């Protein structure tokens, strides 16, 4: 992303983090970038502006309040459209969950993005096959058709690709490639990132209950497998 030390720099690239309950990961990165102070964590969940679902704070580079889900992508499409109208060069990235892709608001904004050839919009789907406390297959996805998301996006007119979501280099190169393709074909883009919820903590991986709860000391002893 094209960023500067000033989080409110007008021409910065935007990130809309639609799956807002995963904001802890975003906060850690914003702290690494210097947009949050390391001690902002001290009051986390205890009066802090860092809430369980992210809330907009431009001075901290948090671009949009999200959660309820299904609203980040419409906002991101609007930002990308605004950039296009104003002939600004910034790009808009939007990270969505695979569960929230069931929501109709997303498919309205996808049609909008295609109609207005928003080549400056890149969507990344965290495809962990879980939504809240259950598996996609048990909620609304037809069993055995977990790979339908890419087909759906392509049918609506997006440039599409996929990657292993825990391989950062592969993800970065996939995003670069799909942006190039989108520019050439005048299409917004999406990368479906294949992920495992709770990746790296052996007690937590792919177990729905950890959507809300913390691991116990004994569970943490099961170890990690970060690459
Ligand atoms: Mg999910």
Look at residue 49 in the predicted model and tell me its pLDDT.
Answer: 85
Assess whether pLDDT exceeds 80 at residue 41.
no
Q: How far is the CA of 99 from the centre of ligand 1 (A)?
A: 5
Residue 213 pLDDT: 86
Q: What confidence tens digit (pLDDT) does each residue in 49-70 have?
A: 888 899 999 999 999 999 899 9
Decide if pLDDT at 198 tops 70. yes
Other CB atoms closer than 10 Å to residue 199's CB: what's the count? 16
- CA of 222 from ligand 1 middle (Å) equals 23
Exposure string over 126-150, b if 16+ CB within 10 A, otherwise e: bbbbbbeeebbeeeebeeeeeeebb
Rg of the chain over Cα atoms, rounded to whole angstroms, equals 18
CA dihedral sign of residues 104, 206, 146, 160: positive
Residue 117: Cβ within 10 Å count: 15
Averaged pLDDT for residues 177-186: 98
pLDDT at 146: 67
The verdict on pTM exceeding 0.75 is yes
Average pLDDT, the chain: 93
Strands 189-194 and 159-164: parallel
Cα(206) to centroid(ligand 1), Å: 10
Q: 131 C-alpha to center of ligand 1: Å?
A: 4
Residue 45 in this model has a pLDDT that exceeds 90: no
Question: pLDDT (tens digit, 9 = 90+) per residue, 90-114?
Answer: 999 999 999 999 999 999 999 999 9
CA of 85 to the centre of ligand 1 (A): 33
* Superfamily holding 14-195: Thiamin diphosphate (ThDP)-binding fold, Pyr/PP domains (3.40.50.970)
- Residues 142-155: tens digit of each pLDDT: 887 766 899 999 99
Cα 185 to ligand 1 centroid, rounded to whole Å: 29
- List the chain domain ranges: 14-195, 201-227
d(CA 105, CA 192) in angstroms, rounded, equals 19
Residue 227 confidence (pLDDT) above 80: no
The pocket of ion ligand 1, defined by CB under 5 A, consists of 97-99, 128, 130-131
Centroid of ligand 1 to alpha carbon of 72 (angstroms): 15
d(CA 137, ligand 1 centre) in Å: 11
């Amino acid at each position: 992303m094209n960023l500067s030390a000033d989080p409110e720099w007008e021409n910065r690239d935007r990130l809309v983090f639609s799956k807002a309950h995963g904001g802890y990961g975003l906060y850690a990165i914003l702290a690494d970038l210097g947009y949050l102070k390391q001690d902002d964590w001290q009051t986390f969940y205890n009066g802090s502006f860092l809430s369980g679902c992210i809330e907009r704070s431009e001075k901290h580079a948090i671009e949009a309040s999200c959660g309820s889900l299904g609203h980040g992508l419409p906002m991101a499409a609007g930002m990308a459209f605004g950039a296009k109208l104003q002939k600004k060069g910034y790009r808009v990235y939007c990270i969505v969950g695979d569960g929230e892709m069931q929501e109709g608001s997303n498919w309205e904004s996808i049609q909008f993005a295609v109609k207005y050839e928003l080549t400056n919009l890149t969507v990344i789907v965290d495809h962990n096959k879980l939504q809240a406390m259950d598996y996609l297959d048990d909620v609304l996805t037809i069993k055995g058709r977990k790979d339908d998301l890419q087909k759906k996006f392509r049918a609506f007119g997006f440039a599409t690709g996929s990657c292993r979501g825990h391989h950062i280099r592969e993800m970065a190169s996939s995003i670069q490639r799909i942006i190039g393709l989108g520019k050439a074909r005048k299409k917004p883009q999406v990368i479906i990132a294949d992920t495992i919820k709770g990746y790296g903590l052996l007690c937590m991986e792919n177990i729905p209950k950890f959507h809300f709860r913390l691991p116990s000391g004994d569970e943490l002893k099961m170890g990690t497998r970060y690459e």
